[in-house]
Amino acid sequence: MDIGFIGLGNMGAHMARRLVEAGHKVIVYDTRQEAIGDIAALGGVAARSPKEVADLAETVMVSLPTPDIVLKVATGPDGVIEGKKVRRFVDLSTTGSVMAQRIFKLLAAKNIVQIDAPVSGGVRGAAKGTVAVMASGPRADVEAVEPALKVIGKFFFISERSGAGQTMKLCNNVLSAAGSAATSESMVMGVKAGLNPRIMLDVINASSGRSTATEQKFPDAVLPRTFNQGFTAGLMKKDVDLFVSEAKALGVPINVIEAVAALLKLTCDELGPDKDITEIIKPIEQRAGVEVRETAAR
C-alpha cells in the first residue's frame, strides 16, 4: 500500500519506520529535514509539503502535536486537502472529537474521508508496535486501512461516528494522567514519612494500588531521576483540557479530573510545558521538601 505519513516526532518516526519495514511505500514529510532524512534512509520517499504527500498517496496518516496543527496540515494552504490523489486522511494525533468532526466535514467537501485513529502506549509502544489504535469512521474506509494500522499497534474499531476514537483516547489519557498525579502525591507522602520508595513501589505493585505509573513510569523515570518517558507535560495538559471541555459539554461531573488538570497546569507554569510528564511530581516534592529517588534499602 502507498501511504503518506506526516509528522515524524517521537511517536510518528517509529510508526512510519514500522510501515516502511512492513513493506509499504511510505511518502513522508516533517518540518524538520533531518527527520525526513532518517526515514528516507530506511526506504521512505521524501516529500516537500503535505500537499505533495497527498499528491502521491491515497491514504495519508498524520501524527502531530496539537489540534490546530492537524487542522492546518489537513485543510490549510498547501495542505492535504489540496492533494490530487488522497482519498483517506488518518489522524493518529489527539485532537478531541470536536476538531475531528470539523476536519471530517471540511475534507468531505473534497471527497476525502477522515478517519480518527489516535494511539496510546507511549514512545516505547510506538517503537514496538504495541500501541492501542482507536479507529472511528466509515466502516469500509477503516477496513481499507486496517492492515496498515495493525502494523502500528493493536487495532480497535470504536464506531462509525467521527470523533468517537478521539473521545476514547481522552478517556484513556485522563486515567493515565490521574494515575501519575495520584502516585506522585502518594510517593511523596510515603517518602516524607520515612518509607523507602523502592519498597513502596514493590508493595503497591503487589497490591491493589498498582498502575502503569507504579509499574513503569516511577521505577524507570522517577526513582533514577531521568524523567525520560518521551511525552511532555504540555501535551498531557492538552489532552486533559480537551477531556474537561467535552465532559462539561456532556454535563458529566469531573471533580477528580479537574484536580489533575490543576496539577498539570501548575507543572507547566513552574517547570515548562516541554518537561516530561513524569516531572509532575516535582511541584509536590518542592512543597513537601523531599525528593522521591532511589535509596539504599533499610
- Are 92 and 12 within 8 A, CB to CB? yes
227 Rama sector, left if φ>0, alpha if ψ -120 to 50, beta otherwise: left
Question: Positive or negative CA dihedral for 276, 282, 284, 290?
Answer: positive
| Ranges of H-type helices in 132-277 | 139-152, 164-192, 197-205, 212, 233-250, 255-271
The grid cell for 54 is 497527498
Q: Which DSSP helix (H) or strand (E) runs through 45?
A: strand 45-46
The grid cell for 27 is 511518502
> What is the Cα–Cα distance from 128 to 18, expressed in whole angstroms?
9
Annotated catalytic residues are 169
> What is the Cα–Cα distance from 263 to 48, expressed in whole angstroms?
40
